[in-house]
Amino acid sequence: MSVRDTIIEKLSASFAPAHLEVIDESNKHFGHAGWREGGETHFRVRIATRHFDGKARIAQHRDIMSVLDAELKGRVHALAIEVLPPEGPFTLPDRV
């Protein structure tokens, strides 16, 4: 199973998200620290779930990182996390 598929499986089982995207951004980091041949080192997670209702952003990120502890200690070098509202829209506004 790919690292991406493992991340999807673990986050889906733990948080029952209304929306989940796991994007392998390893190709954007070629030559940077943590990059490895074959990719699967840098990921972006976009997740919308009621599990995070009322939690501070730091607590949301800690929950995700706890679920993905083995991956973060292994092959995954970087993880960008975007928590979206569970009712949508499932995009974040452009940042300046």
pTM: 0.84
Phi-psi region of 68 (alpha: psi -120 to 50; beta: other; left: phi over 0): alpha
* CA-atom Rg of the chain in angstroms: 13
Question: How many CA atoms does the CB half-sphere of 58 hold within 13 Å?
Answer: 0
Is the separation of the CB atoms in 11 and 64 below 8 Å?
Answer: yes
Helix (H) and strand (E) counts in the chain? 3, 3
* pLDDT tens-place values along the chain, 96 residues long: 899 999 999 999 999 999 999 999 886 655 666 555 656 788 999 999 999 999 999 999 999 999 999 999 998 988 999 999 988 877 666 654
